[in-house]
Amino acid sequence: MVIKKSDDIRSREITDKKVYLSRRNFLRGAALAATTVATGLVYRQLLAPQVELANPTGRVAPGAQPAPKQWGLPGEEATSYQDITHYNNFYEFGTDKYSPARRAQSLITRPWTVSVEGLVNKPKVFDLDELTRLFPQEDRVYRFRCVEAWSMVIPWLGFPLGELLKLAEPQGSAKYVAFETANDPKKKIPALSEYEAGLDWPYVEGLRLDEAMHPLTLLATGIYGEPLLPQNGAPIRLVVPWKYGFKNIKSVVRITLAERMPPTSWNRANSEEYGFFSNVNPEVPHPRWSQATERRIGEYTRRTTLPFNGYAEQVAHLYDGMDLKYYF
């Protein structure tokens, strides 16, 4: 079949392009690393909201600076704001790590609506401001692990997706949740053609309903207490910390409850390399590289990759009885 063949050719091209780009990025990354350590510190000091620590007298000594809010995890420092906002994957705005920070600035994020539809009793189109008013925004510091074996620690601001889904009242037949990124010339997205990106637009992702309802799963609206920048998926994006980065779909406009497993962008582009579940799993190598270790952005030695990205205690039960080598 002609159509199938052209798809095959295209996915081979994507592969070559990705290998080429990741090699080039390695060289650029080495040069950047030295400067980002310094600028990272500056950004943390400037951008971390200043909070006063509790003390016995309830007073801050004259002239003393209140301590900056601590954003990390035990034994893991939060990645610098500079790195989180300048080392990105956002194929609508470029296939390398550095152009989204520049090119996504054209994205128009206001006004913005998110529709919740499909198999729900109460479908509704929400304005972004309505969502942030309805659901209290929480700070959540999570590990973030890209399938390309780099990782960060990101202090998100957001609310549990499950709260929004509950409001919409999923019907008994709903088993999956599908997500869609904006695909709208009026919002200036995408900037790249499908051919240039090697993906079909809109970018789509999906979760099983129980994964979507899990209290760790967020709709994020900010980072380090600041509204999301366009390159990180402004104004609202999905965060599922135990799955590979590509599940964390950006700039979401539609959430659809469905009975069947929805198509997902990377699985469509290359189903042998990218599964629907894509739980972080050090025991299942990517066909072209190991997933046993990861490069933590801002650090110089590799870290061991943890099952479910360190969230096994909270989520492993979702996959009881499933062969995770088959359902990768």
Ligand X SMILES: Nc1nc2c(c(=O)[nH]1)N[C@H]1C(S)=C(S)[C@@H](COP(=O)(O)O)O[C@H]1N2
Point out which residues bind Mo ion (CB under 5 A): 89, 146, 245-246
> Minimal distance in Å, beta carbon 132 to ligand X?
19
Binding residue for ligand X, selected from 81, 142, 156, 246, defined by CB under 6 A: 246
Considering only residues 165-184, where is the footprint of ligand X by CB under 6 A? 181
Q: Give the shortest CB-109-to-ligand X separation in angstroms.
A: 13
Is 146 an interacting residue with respect to ligand X (CB under 6 A)?
yes
Rounded Cα gap, residues 35 and 112, in angstroms: 36
Contacts of 259 (CB under 8 A, 6+ apart): 119, 173, 174, 175, 176
Q: Which does 279 bind (CB under 5 to 8 A by kind): Mo ion, ligand X, none?
A: none
**Which residue from 248, 264, 291, 309 is in contact with ligand X, where contact means CB under 6 A?**
248
Question: What distance in Å separates the CA atoms of residue 127 and residue 148, rounded to the nearest whole number?
Answer: 34
> In whole angstroms, what separates CA 121 from the centre of its chain?
28
Report the residue from 71, 91, 142, 224 that binds ligand X according to the rule CB under 6 A: 91
Q: Which of 250, 257, 262, 291 binds ligand X (CB under 6 A)?
A: 250
Residue 90 interaction partner, one of Mo ion, ligand X, none, beta carbon < 5-8 Å per kind = ligand X
H helix or E strand, kind and range, residue 8: helix 2-47
Amino acid identity of 139? Answer: D
For residue 120, the minimal CB distance to ligand X (Å) is 23
Interacting residue with ligand X among 36, 79, 82, 88 (CB under 6 A): 88
The answer to whether 79 and 153 have CB atoms below 8 angstroms apart is: yes
Q: Does 156 bind ligand X (CB under 6 A)?
A: no
Minimum distance from residue 317 beta carbon to Mo ion (Å): 26
Say if CB 232 and CB 88 are below 8 A apart.
yes
Regarding 309 and contact with ligand X (CB under 6 A), the answer is no
The residue within the footprint of ligand X, chosen from 116, 249, 297, 315 (CB under 6 A), is 249
Torsion of CA 140, 235, 229, 189, to 10 degrees: 140
Q: Residue number with the shortest CB distance to Mo ion? A: 245
Contact of 305 with 280, CB cutoff 8 Å: yes
Confirm or reject binding of residue 218 to ligand X (CB under 6 A).
no
Q: Please write down the long-range contacts of 284-288, taking CB distance under 8 Å and 24 or more positions apart.
A: 284/324, 284/325, 284/328, 286/147, 286/149, 288/15, 288/19
Taking the least distance from each CB to ligand X, the nearer of 81 and 246 is 246
Site for ligand X in 97-136 (CB under 6 A): none
Q: Which residues have C-beta within 8 Å of that of residue 309, sequence separation ≥ 6?
A: 143, 145, 241, 242, 243, 280
- Kindly state the number of chain residues that form the binding site for ligand X, as judged by CB under 6 A: 16
Element (H, E) at 126: strand 124-127
Instruction: Tell me if 142 contacts ligand X by CB under 6 A.
Output: no
| Position 89 contacts ligand X (CB under 6 A) | yes
Rounded to whole angstroms, how far apart are CA atoms 114 and 284? Answer: 35
Between 104 and 168, whose beta carbon lies closer to ligand X? 104
Q: Is 203 in the site for ligand X (CB under 6 A)?
A: yes
Query: CA-CA distance, 292 to 289, in Å (whole number)?
Result: 9
What is the per-residue DSSP string for 40-55? Answer: HHHHHHHHSPB-PPP-
If the CB atoms of residues 245 and 275 are measured against ligand X, the closer one turns out to be: 245
Query: 132 or 264: whose CB is closer to ligand X?
Result: 264
Query: Applying CB under 6 A, which residues contact ligand X?
Result: 88-92, 146, 181, 203, 232-233, 245-246, 248-251
